[in-house]
Amino acid sequence: MRVNHTGEIAAQALYEGQALVARSPVTRALLHKAAREETDHLAWCETRLRELESRPSLLNPLWYAGSFAIGALAAAFGDRTSLGFVVETERQVEGHLDSHLARLPARDLRSRAIVEAMRQDEQSHGNAAQAAGAAHIPAPARELMRHTARVMTRTAYYL
C-alpha cells in the first residue's frame, strides 16, 4: 500500500504540474479534476497504511517535486502531448494496479476494494485524456516513463 500511496503522490504532482503549464482552460480543468480524484486515492491509501500499521515513503517530498517537474515538462510540449502523457501514465498505472491485485491476499478485501476503485478512476482519467485529443507518446518516452516508475516503486517499497 506504501507503493500505491507514493504513486498517488506522484500522480497528483504530475497533474498539477501539467495543469500549471496547460494552454487550454479545458485541458487545465481536466487535469485539475484528475488531481482532485488522486487526492481521494491518497486519502484512501493513507487510511489503509494506518490500518496496516505502516507508513508512507520517506521520499514522498522528492517524488512530489520530481513528478511536478515532469508534468510541467510534458505540458510544455503542448496540450495534446500532455494529454498523451496522461494516457500513457494511466495505462502504466493500470498495469501496476493489476499486478498488485494479483499479489494481494484474497482475504484482504479492504485493500482490494481500494485498489479496484483506484484502477477504475485511473482508467477514466486515461479515457478522458484520450477523448480530449491526446497525442501518441513515442516508444522511447514510454520506456523512460516505465523505467522512472520502476525506480520510484521499488525505492518506495523500502523507503
* For the chain, domain boundaries: 2-158
Residue type, 3: V
53 φ, ψ to 5°?
Answer: 55, 45
pLDDT value at residue 74: 94
pLDDT band of residue 157 (cuts 50, 70, 90) is confident
Chain centroid to Cα 86, Å, comes to 9
Question: 2-158 maps to which CATH number?
Answer: 1.20.1260.10
Asked whether 61 and 54 are in contact (CB, 8 A), the reply is: no
Quote the CA–CA distance of 29 and 97 in Å, as a whole number. 25
Quote the CA–CA distance of 159 and 155 in Å, as a whole number. 6
List pLDDT tens digits, range 18-67. 999 999 999 999 999 988 888 888 899 999 999 999 999 999 999 999 99
Place of cell 480543468: 29
Helix, strand, or coil (residue 115): helix
Question: pTM, whole model, 2 decimals?
Answer: 0.88
